[in-house]
Structure 1
Amino acid sequence: MTGSPALPPIPLSVLDIAQVERGRPAARSLATVRELARRAEELHFKRFWVAEHHNAPGVASSSPAVLLAAIGAVTERIRIGSGGVMLPNHAPLVVAEAFGTLGTLFAGRVDLGIGRAPGTDAAVASALRRLPAEAYADELGDLLSFVTGSFPESHPYRGITALPAPPAPPEVWLLGSSVSSAVMAGERGLPYAFAQHFFGARGAEEALLAYRAAFRPSVLLATPHALLTVHTVCGEDDAHAHHLAAPAVASALQVDGLVRAEPLPSPEDAAALDWPDKEREYAAELLAEQAVGGPESVRRRLGALIGETAPDELMITNNVTDPKEKLRSLERVRELFV
């Protein structure tokens, strides 16, 4: 590292989706997730979250609760959670029971991040046999009541208890990438996580301002608390980081016919794809919104995002498929804050 000043002492966390590389088994990706969580704990990251995806050959995290049980078994202190569970896909009682079980196994360190998008297509949503997204607000209300055990007297679920009941309820977060999700989190009195890491995401500053303005204290949270998730690849230098990030960008842009749902190509295969000039320019624009580069570039970008949005926590994620490179990127980011 250079003599540049460290970034602000903001709590750091990790999000992962167990990205699968073409030609590699999903078991390799799941093993990487567990190793990444162990290393994140050693480096004093605060949280380790996994996301939910379905019918996506390039992602091995279809069942966050199951994966979190495996992560919890190899860690001791770091908070573990979902980033998130897509509520339209699940009955609120089932979610409350699953995370109550996790909270009983790993007392005091379980987070339940909830998202609104189904995270899949209409056919898969139908196979999951769940309600339309329009029912989200009511479903969220039921979930919060199951978690807190606070249904109104007249509610038909009043006599139902989500079991096992953990020593402390999971910390419930609302996830989103819009002002509307931010306002909902504020009005419900929940902590909020903004998904800046989505390629093409915009509006983090506006959303976090709206969240804080809309916040009303609840039994779950007394004051607003916001987290920003950023796609962060910290390489040896800018060229190395862009090399590692190329597979994820190629997939997002569907370069050379690459389908978004496919396993990611290796960095070498991604570099060999037919990248038209327009796609190369757009890829550069997408990466500029994230934090991809050598240590000094990542330092500047994360510092700018923290200054613009003033999050209470920062969460990093990337789709690097090489286990050693993924771990090293995590370590380089940690060093920027020391």
Structure 2
Amino acid sequence: MPLLSILDLSVVTTAAPPSAALRNSIDLARHADQLGYERYWLAEHHNLASVASPSPDLMIGQIAAVTNSIRIGSGGIMLPNHAPLVVAERFKMLEALFPGRIDLGLGRAPGTDPATSHALRQRLQGRDGDDFLERLHELTLWETREFPSGHPFNKVVAMPNDAPLPPIWLLGSSDYSSQLSAQLGMGFAFAHHFASYDAVEALTHYRRQFRPSRWRARPHAILAIAVVAADTDEDAERLASSMDLNRLRRDRGQYEPLPSPEEALAYPYAPAGRASIARNRERLFVGSPATVRAKIDPLVAASEADEVMVISAIFDHEARKRSYSLLAESFALKGAAPP
């Protein structure tokens, strides 16, 4: 049975403003720790009314301090927005404070719109275009200390220098990150919850082409999926209506707080909107635990995923916690009640 983890966006709802969403993330992480989830990752997004946290590293420290055994990480740090030295220092510091419990997940996208991306990067020197590989290489060099002879960075040390970088994971929704993760020998997490690329192809390619490295001896593939679980299929469908409307609005460029099921069910959908929701439902697993497992298990088997990472954007915080409790029972996690 694969490991089970959580990806959290600190979702803002029409009833929970950003500050409450951040506190809900901390509460949910405590809940996940008690249930026996493997890890809890936090995303980086900017200038989105639907996402409260732009700083995973700050949230990681807060959550690690109030949990006991669950791994806490970034899902991910959007490397184009940050100087690699800053990333190295912050995550070495987190590793020093919470040894063996921190993950460093990295993404290529800015996690925002072009104007906000420019505001984030305008003080960073770098070449135009996609410089992710350049930044990733520099980040690893702060750990390996293999800068060329005479390079000015040879005199710079990422502190604390007695703490290693946490395990590095590359995030992706296409074949590019799959191939890169395999070539560099790093962990790989595939974003099935919004990807148009085939998850099975991405994850199996990663496993087949993986090259052992100083970063990881064996491949480890994470399948990130969107799930809404409830005690009955009917209850789950009602909860999922919030995600349906939210996704439809996102497709139209409207990044609004997550609506309530009542608002979503009363929304006057046009035929094109209903068709769009139906297409998105191919990436959303909704139902009772038995129904959800019947949908998830074939994908996990085909993709050979080592781990399932669940994102659940549910309007009511207690219903969201219940969804994760039901999944924990279904996957027989050590802290969950017997099914």
TM-score, normalised on structure 2? Answer: 0.92
Gaps of 5+ in 2: 333-339
Corresponding residue of 1:46: 38
CA deviation after TM superposition for structure 1 residue 90, in Å: 0.6
Is 1:170–2:137 an aligned residue pair? no
CA deviation after TM superposition for structure 1 residue 238, in Å: 2.1
Q: Is the 8 A contact 1:20 1:59 kept in 2?
A: yes
CA deviation after TM superposition for structure 1 residue 180, in Å: 1.1
Q: Is the 8 A contact 1:17 1:60 kept in 2?
A: yes
Q: Measure, in 1, the Cα distance between the counterparts of 2:73 and 2:286.
A: 25
Q: Find 1:217's aligned residue among 201, 208, 212.
A: 212
> Which of 183-192 and 132-141 deviates more?
132-141
Corresponding residue of 1:249: 244
Corresponding residue of 2:62: 70
Corresponding residue of 1:334: 328
CA deviation after TM superposition for structure 1 residue 152, in Å: 4.0
Closer, same or farther: CA 202–242 of 1 in aligned 2, 3 Å = farther
CA deviation after TM superposition for structure 1 residue 246, in Å: 1.9
Corresponding residue of 2:200: 205
Letter in 2 for 1:318: S
For the aligned residue pairs, the C-alpha RMSD in angstroms reads 1.8
CA deviation after TM superposition for structure 1 residue 55, in Å: 0.4
CA deviation after TM superposition for structure 1 residue 284, in Å: 2.7
Cα displacement string for residues 220-273 of structure 1 (whole angstroms, at most 9, x for unaligned residues): 111211111010111122222222122222122128x97532111111111111
Q: Find 1:196's aligned residue among 192, 195, 199.
A: 192
Where do residues 111-190 of structure 1 align in structure 2 (5 Å cutoff)?
A: 111-129=103-121, 130=124, 131=126, 132-165=128-161, 167-190=163-186
Q: Is the 8 A contact 1:102 1:110 kept in 2?
A: yes
Q: Is the 8 A contact 1:15 1:315 kept in 2?
A: yes
Q: Measure, in 1, the Cα distance between the counterparts of 2:10 and 2:224.
A: 16
Corresponding residue of 1:5: none
Q: Find 1:282's aligned residue among 254, 260, 276.
A: 276
Q: Is the 8 A contact 1:92 1:139 kept in 2?
A: yes
Where do residues 66-105 of structure 1 align in structure 2 (5 Å cutoff)?
A: 66-105=58-97
Gaps of 5+ in 1: 1-8
Q: Measure, in 1, the Cα distance between the counterparts of 2:21 and 2:274.
A: 28
Closer, same or farther: CA 248–259 of 1 in aligned 2, 3 Å = farther
Q: Measure, in 1, the Cα distance between the counterparts of 2:178 and 2:167.
A: 17
Closer, same or farther: CA 166–303 of 1 in aligned 2, 3 Å = farther
Corresponding residue of 1:264: 258
Cα displacement string for residues 63-113 of structure 1 (whole angstroms, at most 9, x for unaligned residues): 101111111111121110000000011110111111111111111110000
Q: Measure, in 2, the Cα distance between the counterparts of 1:10 and 1:133.
A: 37
Q: Measure, in 2, the Cα distance between the counterparts of 1:296 and 1:166.
A: 47
Letter in 1 for 2:289: P
CA deviation after TM superposition for structure 1 residue 203, in Å: 0.8
Q: Measure, in 2, the Cα distance between the counterparts of 1:275 and 1:166.
A: 57
Closer, same or farther: CA 15–133 of 1 in aligned 2, 3 Å = farther
Closer, same or farther: CA 260–277 of 1 in aligned 2, 3 Å = same
Corresponding residue of 1:15: 7
Q: Measure, in 1, the Cα distance between the counterparts of 2:31 and 2:186.
A: 29
Cα displacement string for residues 40-81 of structure 1 (whole angstroms, at most 9, x for unaligned residues): 111111100000000011101111011111111111211100
CA deviation after TM superposition for structure 1 residue 330, in Å: 0.1
3-state SS of 1:231 partner: strand
* Identity percentage of aligned residues: 41
Closer, same or farther: CA 107–246 of 1 in aligned 2, 3 Å = same
Corresponding residue of 1:232: 227
TM-score, normalised on structure 1? Answer: 0.92
Q: Is the 8 A contact 2:73 2:104 kept in 1?
A: yes
Cα displacement string for residues 246-304 of structure 1 (whole angstroms, at most 9, x for unaligned residues): 2222122128x975321111111111111123322331332233321122210111111
Q: Measure, in 2, the Cα distance between the counterparts of 1:166 and 1:271.
A: 54
Q: Measure, in 2, the Cα distance between the counterparts of 1:304 and 1:39.
A: 28
Q: Measure, in 2, the Cα distance between the counterparts of 1:31 and 1:216.
A: 40
Letter in 2 for 1:223: R
Q: Measure, in 2, the Cα distance between the counterparts of 1:97 and 1:58.
A: 29
